């Protein structure tokens, strides 16, 4: 059971503490600068959203990010992932985008601002890849248009997570333009393939040696929630063999579709039992998530070759996700034992056992200690800038933060703007929230790194 299992959390709420902090003149200048840069920040975000960067095709967007980092006069590093090095790490798995496209022409882009010394360093990171916008015909707003209506900027990736990238870039830009000299280093990272597991992205940057005293990944968290956990995620498929026969004499065959349905039912029953048993408060910040913090999703079923032939094969493809509290091998074993029990109850399946394949996503869950200074600092600045009390959330989705927390000594959180319809039609991010997020990141940067 997670140490957060007994807490009760709600969505960000107004706080009577908002505005009581006394800001230095330096911080006031930063906030004023960000307000003045609102239109420029929005223009940058529009241009970025208009560059399609569906996972596997990140190159053009990364060229855009490289130019921006060079315009900021950062030390810029552009490089493609090294698969031989990645394979040595325990978190490595072959992502589906790597299997399909490889890593050639899919670089990560790093921009480093060196501090004057004696300050803590900070990574601000975001993934440039987005999911497919299909079916495009269902969108009210063109997914690559970056159309703005009533403070909402629409487009694929506007919220997940180019809005967060705009916030982190302009947080640093405005600190620079205010004339502040930071003591600690700041590293901006624009990474690839997070939507497919992040192996060639954030994990690759860690293995390349990019570390800091803390990291913030600007995933959308509502503009006032601090993400302190991510889910474990695995993909698997179950292949069943039947016996083909002509439909006119189907009684001579064994229909694999009917057999795979028995496994479907067993997995569905396991899903119900797990959902009734497992809870995790940071993932249950919204009431409709209660009882759904873990899910075995049977996302694809296929089988057979012809209506006039008894299906000689069938298979399921599934995703299992779960919050902190269980390890990957334990969940994997539970699923495999469930399938084995279903097989034992069927004579055909006992004689012709199905094949289980684990592929694609293979991510352990993570939790970040709430008492770490970077968590408290961001939560305080959320209150100062928005007047709302920060809520601690996470555990329902796989995130790149796990690479920092589980495999390095770098504390990491997610924090980003407010957006809706992620991975769905008419995705959008609220521009006001992008600006507020930039303010919170800038204030955090100045306090965390220190300045002269």
Domains of the chain, first to last: 13-230+365-449 (3.40.630.10), 232-363 (3.30.70.360)
Read off the pLDDT of each residue in 213-226 and give the average, rounded to a whole number: 97
pLDDT at 11 over 80: no
For residue 287, the model assigns a pLDDT of 85
Read off the pLDDT of each residue in 314-318 and give the average, rounded to a whole number: 98
Options 58, 160, 189, 194, the catalytic residue: 194
Q: How far is CA 193 from the centre of its chain?
A: 10
Query: Could you tell me which residues come within 8 angstroms of residue 347 by beta carbon, excluding any fewer than 6 positions away?
Result: none
State yes or no: is 194 an active-site residue: yes
Which pLDDT tens digit goes with each residue over 418-438?
999 999 999 999 999 999 999
State yes or no: is 129 an active-site residue: yes
Q: Helix or strand or coil: residue 358?
A: strand
| pTM of the complete model beyond 0.85 | yes
Which pLDDT tens digit goes with each residue over 105-138?
999 999 999 999 989 999 999 999 999 999 999 9
Q: Locate 391 and state its tokens.
A: 């809520």
How does residue 14 score in pLDDT terms, banded at 50, 70 and 90? low
> Please, where are the H alpha helices in 79-162?
83-86, 96-101
Options 66, 129, 160, 426, the catalytic residue: 129
Question: 296 forms bridges with which residues in the sheet?
Answer: 320
Length, in residues, of the chain: 452
Measure the CA–CA gap between 415 and 164, rounded to whole angstroms: 8
Q: Locate 150 and state its tokens.
A: 């009533």
């Amino acid at each position: 059971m997670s140490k957060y299992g007994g807490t009760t959390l709600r969505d960000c709420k107004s706080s009577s503490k908002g505005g009581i902090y006394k800001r230095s003149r330096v911080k006031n200048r930063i906030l004023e600068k960000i307000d003045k840069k609102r239109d420029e920040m929005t223009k940058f975000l529009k241009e970025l959203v208009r560059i399609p960067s569906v996972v596997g095709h990140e190159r053009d967007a990364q060229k855009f990010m490289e130019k921006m980092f060079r315009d900021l006069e950062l030390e810029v590093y552009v490089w493609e992932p090294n698969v031989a090095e990645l394979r040595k790490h325990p978190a490595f798995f072959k992502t589906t985008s790597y299997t399909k496209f490889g890593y050639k022409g899919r670089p990560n882009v790093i921009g480093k601002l060196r501090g004057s010394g004696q300050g803590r360093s900070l990574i601000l990171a975001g993934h440039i890849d987005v999911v497919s916008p299909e079916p495009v015909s269902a969108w009210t707003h063109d997914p690559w248009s970056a159309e703005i209506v009533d403070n909402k900027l629409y487009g694929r990736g506007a919220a997940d997570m180019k809005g967060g990238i705009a916030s982190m870039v302009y947080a640093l830009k405005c600190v620079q333009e205010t004339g502040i000299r930071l003591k600690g280093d700041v590293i901006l990272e624009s990474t690839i393939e997070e939507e497919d597991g992040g192996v060639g992205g954030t994990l690759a940057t860690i293995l390349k040696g990019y570390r800091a005293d803390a990291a913030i990944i600007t995933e959308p968290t509502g503009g006032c929630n601090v993400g302190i956990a991510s889910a474990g995620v695995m993909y698997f498929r179950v292949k069943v063999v039947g016996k083909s026969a002509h439909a006119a004499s189907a009684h001579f065959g064994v229909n694999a579709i009917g057999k795979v349905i028995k496994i479907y039912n067993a997995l569905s029953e396991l899903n119900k039992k797990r959902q009734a048993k497992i809870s995790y408060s940071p993932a249950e910040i919204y009431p409709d998530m209660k009882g759904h913090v873990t899910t075995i999703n049977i996302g694809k079923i296929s089988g057979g070759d012809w209506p006039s032939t008894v299906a000689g094969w069938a298979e399921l493809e599934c995703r299992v996700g779960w919050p902190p509290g269980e390890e990957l091998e334990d969940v994997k074993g539970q699923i495999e034992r469930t399938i084995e029990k279903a097989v034992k109850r069927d004579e055909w399946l006992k004689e012709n056992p199905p094949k289980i394949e684990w592929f694609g996503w293979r991510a352990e869950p993570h939790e970040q200690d709430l008492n770490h200074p970077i968590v408290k600092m961001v939560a305080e600045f959320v209150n100062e800038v928005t007047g709302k009390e920060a809520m601690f959330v996470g555990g329902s989705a796989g995130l790149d933060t796990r690479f920092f927390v589980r495999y390095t000594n770098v504390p990491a959180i997610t924090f980003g703007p407010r957006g809706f319809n992620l991975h769905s039609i008419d995705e959008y991010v609220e521009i006001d929230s992008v600006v507020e997020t930039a303010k919170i990141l800038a204030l955090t940067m100045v306090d965390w790194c220190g300045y002269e």
